[in-house]
């Protein structure tokens, strides 16, 4: 549903969509906004008009951001819609969790939420629910262990750097091997220059390589942005991984 269409002086039309965001997005995000592109295509195909202006009106700051689309943009969004429709018809799509899921009316049909509703109507497999609860409890323990392992890893690596050790021995004969690994890391300034205009810098603020990879692999970025991000990951550095040498285990 289009919020509003105005007949503007000169005979043209402006499509307006109201937003309740507290902050304005970068202009580059508005220029690529899919919702506005679909509205533009709908106006062309349904009413035979080409809106001169496409506007997002942000109510809380009381400001508007206006952009436009071209015939080429309309063809591009038409191809995108057709591709998505074909994948949906063929069942070739995966649900993706996002903040809007909380307002979705179709959670009972969604693979991500269906089990929750089926359990609420009478758990058909209580034993499986017990296993799920056990897995969740163990995973939380894993997270706590991982956090502590990372703390210890930093301390042990710093100790080895200071004293030039490659292996540290425990009291029972076991040892920790310290082995170099060459990894490709993102160059922070380059990544920020690419993502900040798109309003995506906050998502990878620390330039976490995994977060950056997930963002690239989400396939939601324009191809030129994906290429630029991949090209930015040029810095190769060496980090040290720790491995346990356990004599007791090797004798089994």
CA atoms of 67 and 53, how far apart (whole Å): 6
pLDDT of residue 239: 75
pLDDT of residue 96: 82
Domains of the chain: 4-89 (3.90.320.10), 167-252 (no CATH)
pLDDT of residue 233: 55
Rounded average pLDDT over 214-230? 67
Q: How confident is the model at residue 65 (pLDDT cuts 50, 70, 90)?
A: very high
Alpha-carbon distances of 101 from 116, 117, 146, 242, rounded to whole Å = 14, 14, 29, 40
234 contacts: CB under 8 Å, gap ≥ 6: 184, 187
CA atoms of 34 and 224, how far apart (whole Å): 17
Lowest mean pLDDT among 52-56, 162-166, 180-184, 202-206: 202-206
Tell me the pLDDT tens digit for each residue of 98-156: 888 999 999 998 889 988 888 888 887 888 889 999 999 999 999 999 999 999 999 99
User: Could you identify the residue written with the tokens 């939420």?
Assistant: 113
CA atoms of 80 and 249, how far apart (whole Å): 55
Alpha-carbon distances of 159 from 162, 164, 234, rounded to whole Å = 5, 8, 29
Q: Max Cα separation, the chain? A: 87
Rounded average pLDDT over 174-198? 72
pLDDT of residue 99: 86
pLDDT of residue 19: 94
Tell me the pLDDT tens digit for each residue of 33-49: 999 999 999 999 999 99
Number of H helices, E strands in the chain: 9, 7
pLDDT of residue 244: 83
pLDDT of residue 201: 61
The strand pair at 63-67 and 4-7 is best described as unpaired
User: Could you identify the residue written with the tokens 């580059």?
Assistant: 28
pLDDT of residue 152: 94
pLDDT of residue 9: 84
């Amino acid at each position: 549903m289009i919020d509003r269409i105005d007949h503007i002086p000169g005979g043209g039309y402006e499509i307006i969509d109201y937003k309740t965001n507290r902050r304005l997005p970068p202009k580059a995000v508005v220029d690529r906004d899919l919702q506005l592109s679909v509205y533009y295509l709908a106006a062309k195909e349904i009413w035979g008009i080409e809106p001169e202006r496409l506007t997002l009106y942000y109510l809380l700051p009381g400001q508007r951001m206006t952009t436009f689309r071209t015939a080429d943009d309309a063809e591009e969004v038409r191809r995108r819609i057709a591709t998505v429709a074909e994948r949906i018809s063929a069942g070739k799509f995966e649900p993706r969790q996002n903040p809007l899921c909380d307002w979705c009316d179709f959670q009972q049909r969604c693979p991500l939420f269906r089990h929750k509703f089926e359990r609420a109507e009478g758990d058909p497999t209580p034993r499986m629910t017990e296993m799920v609860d056990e897995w969740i409890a163990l995973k939380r323990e894993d997270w706590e262990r991982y956090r502590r392992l990372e703390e210890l890893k930093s301390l042990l690596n710093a100790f080895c750097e200071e004293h030039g050790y490659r292996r540290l021995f425990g009291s029972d004969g076991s040892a920790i091997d310290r082995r170099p690994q060459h990894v490709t890391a993102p160059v922070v300034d380059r990544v920020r220059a690419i993502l900040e205009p798109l309003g995506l810098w906050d998502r990878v603020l620390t330039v976490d390589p995994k977060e950056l990879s997930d963002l690239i692999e989400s396939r939601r970025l324009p191809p030129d942005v994906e290429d630029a991000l991949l090209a930015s990951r040029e810095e190769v550095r060496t980090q040290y991984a720790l491995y346990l040498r356990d004599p007791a285990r090797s004798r089994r």
